[in-house]
């Protein structure tokens, strides 16, 4: 439309800039995999144990996501059975694992289940039947445990979606089926599960992608017994010089393809609008049956995923060294002091905070603009809206580790040679989170209702007035919560940070890895706990701004 | 003078089934007139209104407001909503929850840059008009449904827009309040004299409020006329049915006029110029009953014999009879003061020529 051409240019610019940031590194990287007649794939085939690596990647993706879907759905069902007195806390409890960064959780589990000196293993060996063992009975450095731990880490995500689905459904539909004479089993099969199908499919797709791109658990747990997945192979490449980007691209190629297929399947299975699961609070649970054992299940889950690893971390951080024995008398704050006195480590924490905050300051308005554009059916050209939709979805299909590898490639050479500066971290964070920031704010905008905006236009309010006086005040909570939650996710960021860090630009996740490789486990524990503490503060701010519902948006 | 002119407007929604929600619509609204868009759910009323507001992009046609084009598909021109100088009342009111009544109502005035002193006066006046002068400092959440509706109306009226667009503004209210606000709205329209389009699917609202009424069917205007015209002379069978004219007789002219309720009797002179098949619509309150043994009246009426009372429903001052006439179900409503019939009674029905709406090929041919 003639009048509309001018504003389109602004949107087009956003698409070009964001598109460049998100798509270009991947395209450029993948190009390297295919030049020279695909010799990179030949080199990939020649990697030692490449067969095992691919197999582990596939196993990890399928089994951990299957486990996550089962556990998460079961938890959501348990949460719907919670007695009223514990309901409020019980519904939030399965989200608490999200507060513990994956690195911290995995480290905690190593302290518990390391075959020789893991605390749980030591305790189990006290039992009469197992007393003959030298080590074990569990060995966390195996594919089995990598799958189990990854599955547990991912189950919280499934819980978020399925629980929200159950809540939004309310109790009335089930009550209506019961009034029609349906038995509980029939209700479950004919009403509850079909209605939850979109939530479950969506969640399954999300965790499958996360499982396939999983980096943290395989990296930390696989090293001892030389277990690798495609993303850890990619990371090993970055440690050598010169970096074989072609090979890295070849390693990332299968992940990229699988990611696209999953996102496509999700689209097909869910239709257009359902990809954005709208979170809205509706509590109609009243005449429901409640079970106390449900609280027990959630309690056990919380204990396993959060309490035990945190206890282990705390204990190790206060012990002189990690020996496996539990001696309370020798506790010391030495490691806390040494971490806080170490300028490299403190700097890394500050860099994490600073780069995250700068990234968020750019992400929030950018994501808001993109979310807003997605909602405009009349004023913005369809191709532009489709491009924005694509850019908001793409980062979901590309694991952070692969994205990090691509960004490392893109920013170590002209035209934008920013490797080695803090800017590369900011750009990386923006690239990783732009989809997230867009989708969360889209949810907020949808929940706010298009009509308030239309009412403003009908009253003669122009774009700026509508934005400042209507949209922003109404979305303030959602935007604030998005900012706080994005901060948490960035502070947890490990995979991409590890790829793009340099000696001069370290963040908390990357220095933690160095300390870990150096074997100073007590300091690893301290850093992990600092991560948790800062996260808790971030979440508290989010809850303070956006109410407890915002916790579920993670 | 025409305030609004819509020409050959076509709006098709994208998507798999490509619904044509507005299909080649032409309407004109004169200054001071209230045009009511009447039609069943899904016929495109809201879409048409939103096109006028500029909230939708139509594919074809032209919309002119006070002589200036605001939308013209041929030159790809669509003026943004906020520049059109309209007032709009949404079905769910859409009062901004974070602003007080005062702030809500003065918003369109601020947007138009009205000076503060003038603004306060206008807000006060318009709140007076909707009888909500005492609510200025409340937030929308602290208002009843009826009050919210009045404030939404005030907000739309405040800047004295060129045209008011009202989308089923009363449909979320309970029956009593609806009647009250309908009367109030009618009074405001008289008093302020605004030009408006009013969307509804309630025919009583339409005939009460509409200077003219446009009946819509699947994206098209089926009939456009004064309330009186539409009520008395529904142009097509669709309009007749939508207005709730329940008695329908299908007539054939093979050796006299046979209906599906038996042979049509009485004065058939006016049918002589017509050829079958015909459809005859009669309102229940235009049908008179007599004892079954009586003969058909001679002049000015049609008549059907062989009827039987199936049921009699007393509702206040009226009795609604359900009749079986030659296998066809017909309805009669009479004043209860008239002679009462009982279920099982044999009856004859008569109705005046002027009350029979006769359609041939879906065109009104009677009267
Ligand atoms: N955003 C949309 N996308 C696709 N189709 C739509 C959209 N909005 C409306 N429609 C379709 O367009 C047609 C007209 O819808 P519209 O809302 O104008 O009807 P209406 O007459 O206002 O109905 P009601 O009385 O129920 O409000 C319907 O068939 C509807 O399904
Ligand atoms: Mg409508």
Domain of A140, CATH number, reads: 1.10.3720.10
Q: In sequence order, what DSSP letters do the residues of A437-482 get, joined into one string?
A: HHHHHHHHHHHH-HHHHHHHHHTT--HHHIIIIIIHHHHHHHHHHH
Q: What is the pLDDT of residues A436-445, one digit of tens each?
A: 888 888 878 8
Q: How far apart are CA A100 and CA A191, in angstroms?
A: 35
pLDDT of residue A280: 37
Give the single-character DSSP code of B164: E
User: For residue B316, what are the β-bridge partners?
Assistant: none
> A257 and A207 in one domain?
yes
Q: Please indicate whether, in this complex, the C-beta atoms of A3 and B77 are within 8 angstroms of each other.
A: yes
| Whether residue B273 sits in one domain with residue B210 | no
* Chain B residue set in contact with A, beta carbons under 8 Å: 53-57, 75-83, 85-88, 90, 92, 94-98, 107-108, 110-112, 155-156, 159, 165
CA-CA distance, A488 to A350, in Å (whole number)? 14
Q: What is the mean pLDDT of residues A406-433?
A: 84
d(CA B109, CA A116): 76
**Residue A63 pLDDT > 90, yes or no?**
yes
Residue A402 clears pLDDT 80, i.e. is over it:
yes
CA quadruple A293, A183, A204, A162: dihedral positive or negative? negative
Within a domain: residue A362?
A: yes
B148: chain A residues, CB-CB within 8 Å: none
- DSSP strand pairing (B357-360 vs B363-364): antiparallel
Same domain, A112 and A26: no
Q: Are strands B60-65 and B34-38 parallel, antiparallel or unpaired?
A: unpaired
Residue A503 has pLDDT above 80, yes or no: no
Nearest ligand (C-alpha, residue B167): 2
In this structure, the answer to whether residues B10 and B46 fall within a common structural domain is yes
Q: Which residue, judged by its Cα, is nearest atom 20 of ligand 1?
A: B42
Contacts of A273 (CB under 8 A, 6+ apart): none
> pLDDT for B294-312, tens place per residue?
877 778 889 998 899 999 9
Angle at alpha carbon of residue A213, lines to A211 and A214, rounded to 5°: 60
What are the beta bridge partners of residue B251? B259, B278
Alpha-carbon distance A461 to A443, whole Å? 23
Ligand 1 centroid–CA B218 distance in Å is 10
Residues of B within 8 A of A475 (CB-CB) are: none
Q: Which chain B positions have a beta carbon within 8 Å of A380's beta carbon?
A: none
Query: How far is the CA of B186 from the CAs of A501, B34, B168, B206, in angstroms?
Result: 71, 10, 14, 11
Residue B238: inside a domain: no
Q: Identify the band that residue A214 occupies on the pLDDT scale cut at 50, 70 and 90.
A: confident
* Residue A20 burial (CB count, 10 A): 12
Are A273 and A356 contained in the same domain? no
**Which of B243, B270, B255 is closest to B360 using CA atoms?**
B270
d(C-alpha B95, C-alpha B90), whole Å:
9
In a domain, A367, yes or no: yes
Same domain, residue pair A99 and A231: yes
For the beta sheet containing B68-72, the strands, ordered from the edge strand earlier in sequence to the opposite edge, are: B20-30, B2-12, B60-65, B68-72, B77-78
CA distance linking residue A92 with residue A294, whole number of Å: 14
Number of independent structural domains in chain B: 2
Nearest CA in chain B to A272: B15
Nearest CA in chain A to B76: A1
In a domain, A459, yes or no: yes
Residue A71 lies in a domain: yes
Q: CA of A205 to nearest chain B CA: how many angstroms apart? A: 25
Q: Verify whether ligand 1 is closer than 6 Å to residue B315 (CB atom).
A: no
- A459/B97 touch (CB, cutoff 8 Å), yes or no: no
- Are B194 and B337 in the same domain? no
Residue B117 domain flag: yes
Overall average pLDDT of the B57-74 stretch: 93
**% of residues, chain A, pLDDT over 70:** 89
Among residues A165, A184, A189, which one has the least CA distance to residue A73?
A165
Q: Using CB atoms within 10 Å of the CB of residue A422, give its burial: 0 to 12 exposed, 13 to 18 middle, 19+ buried.
A: middle
> Which residues, in sequence order, are bridge partners of residue B280?
B249, B358
Question: Which residue of A1, A452, A454 is in closest CB contact with B77?
Answer: A1
Listed residues B233, B253, B268: the one ending a domain: B233
Same domain? For A3 and A21 the reply is yes
Residue whose CA lies nearest to ligand 1 atom number 12: B21
Domain end, chosen from A316, A350, A376, is at A316
What residue of A is the nearest CA neighbor of B70?
A3
User: pTM of the full predicted structure?
Assistant: 0.76
Beta bridge partners of B20: B12
Q: Which of B187, B205, B233 is the last residue of a domain?
A: B233
The closest residue, in CA terms, to atom 24 on ligand 1 is B41
pLDDT of residue A283: 40
Rg (CA), chain B: 25
Tell me whether the omega of the peptide bond preceding residue B277 falls within 30 degrees of 0, making it cis.
Answer: yes
Predicted confidence (pLDDT) at residue A378 exceeds the cutoff of 70: no
> Are B93 and B227 in a shared domain?
yes
> Mean pLDDT across the stretch A172-198?
70
Predicted pLDDT of residue A171: 64
Q: How far is A532 from chain B (nearest CA, A)?
A: 36
Complex ipTM value: 0.77
* Separation CA A297–CA A40 (nearest Å): 49
| Segments forming the whole domain that contains residue A19 | 1-40+330-554
Among A257, A286, A316, identify where a domain stops: A316
- Separation between Cα atoms, residue B251 and residue B183, nearest integer Å: 41
**HSE-CB for B210 with a 13 A CA cutoff:** 28
CB-CB under 8 Å, B80 with A457: yes
Q: Based on the fold, state whether residues B251 and B127 are members of the same structural domain.
A: no
Domain's final residue, options B186, B208, B233: B233
Mean pLDDT of chain A, nearest integer: 83
Which range among A113-117, A287-291, A474-478, B216-220 shows the weakest confidence by mean pLDDT?
A: A287-291
Beta bridge partners of B290: B348
Q: Are residues A31 and A69 in the same domain?
A: no
In a domain, B31, yes or no: yes
Closest chain A residue by Cα to residue B92: A451
User: B42: Cβ below 6 Å to ligand 1?
Assistant: yes
Beta bridge partners of B263: B258
Is residue B169 within 8 Å of residue B177, measured between CB atoms?
A: no
Same-domain status, A24 and A77 = no
Please tell me what DSSP assigns to residue A170. Answer: T
Q: B94 and A454 in contact by Cβ < 8 A?
A: yes
The answer on B127 and B172 residing in a single domain is yes
Same structural domain, B100 and B212 = yes
Note the pLDDT of residue B12: 92
Residues B203 and B330 in one domain: no
Average pLDDT estimate for A154-161: 87
Please enumerate in sequence order all residues whose Cβ is within 8 A of that of A58, keeping only pairs 6 or more positions apart, or say none: none
Query: Which of A4, A379, A461 lies at the smallest CB-CB distance from B111?
Result: A461
What does the pLDDT read at residue A189? Answer: 74
pLDDT tens readout for residues A463-500: 888 888 888 888 887 888 788 778 888 888 888 888 88
Predicted pLDDT of residue A390? 86
pLDDT of residue A282: 40
Do the domain assignments include residue A322? no
Asked if A465 and B111 come within 8 Å (Cβ–Cβ), the reply is: yes
Q: Which long-range contacts (CB under 8 A, 24 or more apart) does B217-220 make?
A: B217/B39, B217/B43, B218/B23, B218/B43, B218/B44, B219/B20, B219/B21, B219/B22, B219/B23, B219/B25, B219/B43, B219/B44, B219/B47, B220/B23, B220/B24, B220/B25
Both A336 and A237 in one domain: the answer is no
Domain at B114, CATH number: 3.40.50.300
Asked, for residue A324, whether it belongs to a domain, the answer is: no
My answer on whether A255 and A293 are in the same domain is yes
Residues B222 and B297 in one domain: no
B57: alpha, beta or left? (left if phi > 0; alpha if psi -120 to 50): beta
Pocket flag, ligand 1, residue B21 (CB < 6 Å): yes
Strand order of the sheet with strand B196-200?
Answer: B86-89, B163-167, B196-200, B34-38, B212-217, B220-226
Residues 6 or more apart from B178 whose CB is under 8 A from it? B170, B205
Question: Does residue A321 fall inside a structural domain?
Answer: no
* Beta carbon of B57 within 6 Å of any ligand 1 atom: no
Which domain-ending residue is among A290, A316, A342? Answer: A316
In chain A, residues with a C-beta closer than 8 Å to the C-beta of B140 are: none
Domain shared by A36 and A51, yes or no:
no
Name which of A213-217, A393-397, A457-461 the model is least confident about.
A393-397
Q: Are residues B220 and B260 in the same domain?
A: no
Rg, Å, chain A Cα set: 24
Give the closest residue to B120 by CA, choosing from B131, B134, B132, B105.
B105
From A36-50, A331-345, A462-476, the region with the lowest mean pLDDT: A36-50
Contact B80 CB / ligand 1 (< 6 Å): no
Strand partners, B2: B30
Nearest CB among A2, A449, A460 relative to B112 is that of A460
**pLDDT given for residue A277 in this prediction:** 39
Q: What share of chain A is helix, strand, coil (3-state, %, to 5)?
A: 80, 0, 20
User: The domain containing residue B139 runs over which residues?
Assistant: 2-233
Ligand positioned closest to the Cα atom of B202: 1
Q: Domain check: are A264 and A356 in the same one?
A: no
User: In this structure, are residues A531 and A104 in contact, taking their beta carbons and an 8 Å threshold?
Assistant: yes
Which pLDDT band holds residue A275 (cuts at 50, 70, 90)? very low
A139 three-state secondary structure = coil
Q: Choose the weakest-confidence range: A42-51, A430-439, B160-169, B235-244.
A: A42-51
Cα gap B138→B101, rounded to integer Å: 6
Please indicate whether, in this complex, the C-beta atoms of A455 and B53 are within 8 angstroms of each other: no
First to last CA, chain A: 39
For residue B45, report the distance from its CA to the centre of ligand 1, in Å: 8
The reply to whether A468 and A407 lie within a common domain is yes
Of all residues in chain B, the percent with pLDDT exceeding 70 is 99
3-state secondary structure A171-198: CHHHHHHHHCCCCHHHHHHHHHHHHHHH
3-state secondary structure B38-65: ECCCCCCHHHHHHHHHCCCCCCEEEEEE
Q: Higher-confidence residue: A181 or A206?
A: A206
Ligand 1 lined by B193 (C-beta under 6 Å)? no
Mean pLDDT (whole number) for B16-37: 91
Task: Mark whether B198 and B347 lie in a shared domain.
Answer: no
The average pLDDT across A106-129 equals 86
Q: B41 in ligand 1 pocket by Cβ < 6 Å?
A: yes
Burial A386-402 (b: 16+ CB within 10 A, else e): ebbbebbbbbbbbbbbb
Pair (B118, B220) in one structural domain: yes
Domain count for chain A, please give it: 2
Nearest to A455 among B56, B77, B90 (CB): B90
Atom of ligand 1 lying closest to residue B44 CA:
18
Distance between CA A290 and CA B21 in Å, rounded? 48
């Amino acid at each position: 439309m003639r009048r509309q051409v001018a504003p389109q240019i602004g949107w087009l610019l956003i698409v070009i800039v964001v598109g460049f940031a998100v798509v270009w590194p991947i395209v450029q990287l993948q190009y390297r995999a295919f030049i020279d007649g695909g010799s990179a794939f030949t080199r990939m085939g020649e990697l030692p144990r490449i067969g095992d690596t691919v197999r582990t990647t596939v196993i990890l993706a399928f089994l951990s996501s299957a486990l996550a879907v089962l556990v998460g759905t079961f938890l959501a069902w348990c949460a719907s059975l919670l007695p009223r007195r514990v309901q409020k806390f019980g519904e939030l409890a399965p989200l608490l694992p999200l507060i513990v960064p994956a690195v911290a959780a995995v480290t905690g589990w190593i302290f518990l289940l390391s075959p020789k000196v893991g605390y749980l293993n030591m305790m189990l060996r006290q039992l009469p039947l197992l007393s003959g063992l030298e080590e074990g009975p569990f060995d966390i450095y195996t594919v089995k445990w990598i799958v189990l731990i990854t599955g547990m880490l991912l189950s919280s995500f499934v819980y978020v979606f399925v629980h929200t689905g159950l809540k939004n459904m309310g109790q009335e539909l089930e009550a209506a089926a019961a009034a029609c004479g349906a038995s509980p089993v029939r209700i479950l099969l004919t009403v509850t599960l079909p209605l939850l199908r979109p939530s479950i499919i969506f969640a399954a797709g999300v965790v499958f992608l996360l499982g396939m791109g999983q980096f943290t658990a395989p990296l930390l747990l696989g090293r001892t017994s030389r277990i690798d997945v495609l993303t850890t192979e990619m990371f090993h490449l970055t440690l050598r010089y010169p970096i074989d980007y072609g090979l890295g691209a070849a390693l990332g190629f299968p992940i990229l393809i699988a990611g696209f297929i999953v996102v496509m399947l999700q689209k097909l299975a869910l239709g257009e609008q359902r990809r954005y699961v709208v979170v809205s609070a509706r509590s109609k649970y009243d005449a429901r049956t409640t079970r106390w054992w449900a609280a027990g299940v959630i309690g056990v889950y919380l204990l396993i995923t959060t309490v035990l690893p945190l206890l282990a971390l705390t204990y190790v951080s206060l012990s002189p060294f990690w020996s496996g024995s539990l001696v309370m008398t020798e506790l010391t704050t030495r490691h806390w002091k040494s971490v806080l006195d170490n300028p490299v480590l403190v700097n890394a924490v500050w860099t994490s905070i600073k780069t995250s905050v700068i990234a968020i300051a750019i992400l929030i308005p950018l994501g808001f603009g993109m979310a807003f554009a997605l909602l405009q059916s009349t004023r913005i050209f369809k191709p532009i809206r489709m491009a924005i939709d694509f850019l908001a979805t793409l980062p979901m299909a590309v694991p952070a580790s692969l994205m990090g590898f691509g960004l490392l490639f893109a920013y170590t050479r002209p035209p934008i040679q920013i490797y080695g500066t803090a800017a590369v971290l900011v750009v990386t964070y923006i690239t990783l989170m732009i989809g997230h920031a867009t989708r969360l704010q889209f949810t907020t905008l949808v929940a706010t209702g298009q009509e308030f905006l239309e009412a403003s236009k009908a009253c003669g309010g122009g774009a700026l007035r509508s934005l400042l006086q209507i949209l922003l005040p109404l979305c303030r909570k959602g935007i604030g919560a998005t900012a706080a939650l994005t901060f948490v996710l960035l502070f947890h960021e490990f995979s991409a940070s590890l790829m793009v860090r340099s000696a001069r630009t370290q963040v908390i996740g990357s220095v933690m890895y160095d300390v870990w490789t150096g074997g100073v486990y007590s300091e690893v524990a301290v850093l992990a706990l600092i991560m948790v503490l800062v996260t808790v503060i971030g979440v508290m701010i989010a809850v303070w701004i956006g109410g407890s519902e915002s916790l579920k948006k993670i | 003078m025409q305030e609004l002119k819509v020409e050959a407007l076509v709006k098709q929604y994208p998507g798999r089934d490509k619904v044509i929600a507005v299909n080649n619509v032409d309407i004109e609204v004169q200054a001071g007139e209230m045009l009511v868009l009447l039609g069943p759910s899904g016929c495109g009323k809201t879409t048409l209104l939103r096109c006028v507001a500029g909230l939708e992009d139509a594919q074809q046609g032209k919309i002119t407001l006070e002589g200036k084009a605001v939308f013209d598909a041929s030159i790809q021109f669509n003026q943004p909503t906020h520049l059109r100088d309209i007032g709009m009342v949404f079905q769910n009111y859409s009062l901004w929850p974070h602003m007080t009544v005062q702030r809500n109502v003065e918003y369109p005035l601020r947007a138009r840059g009205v000076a503060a002193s003038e603004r306060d006066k206008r807000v006060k006046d318009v709140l007076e008009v909707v009888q909500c002068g005492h609510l200025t400092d409340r937030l929308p959440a602290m208002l009843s449904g009826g009050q919210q509706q009045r404030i939404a109306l005030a907000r739309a009226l405040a800047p004295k827009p060129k045209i008011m667009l009202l989308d089923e503004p009363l449909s979320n209210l309970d029956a009593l309040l609806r009647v009250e606000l309908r009367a109030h709205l009618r009074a405001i329209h008289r008093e302020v004299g605004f030009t408006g389009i009013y969307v509804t699917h309630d025919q009583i609202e339409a005939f009460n409020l509409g200077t003219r009424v446009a009946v819509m069917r699947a994206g098209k205007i089926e009939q456009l006329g004064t309330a009186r015209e539409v009520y008395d002379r529904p142009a097509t069978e669709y309009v007749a049915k939508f207005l709730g004219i329940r008695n329908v007789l299908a007539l054939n002219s093979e050796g006299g006029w046979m209906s599906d309720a038996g042979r049509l009797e009485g004065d058939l002179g006016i049918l002589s110029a017509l050829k079958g098949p015909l459809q005859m619509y009669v309102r229940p309150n235009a049908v008179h009953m007599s004892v079954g043994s009586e003969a058909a009246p001679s002049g000015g009426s049609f008549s059907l014999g062989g009827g039987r009372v199936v049921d009699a429903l007393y509702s206040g001052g009226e009795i609604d009879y359900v009749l079986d006439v030659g296998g066809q179900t017909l309805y009669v409503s009479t004043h209860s003061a008239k002679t009462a019939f009982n279920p099982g009674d044999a009856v004859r029905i008569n109705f005046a020529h002027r009350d029979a709406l006769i359609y041939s090929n879906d065109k009104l041919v009677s009267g």
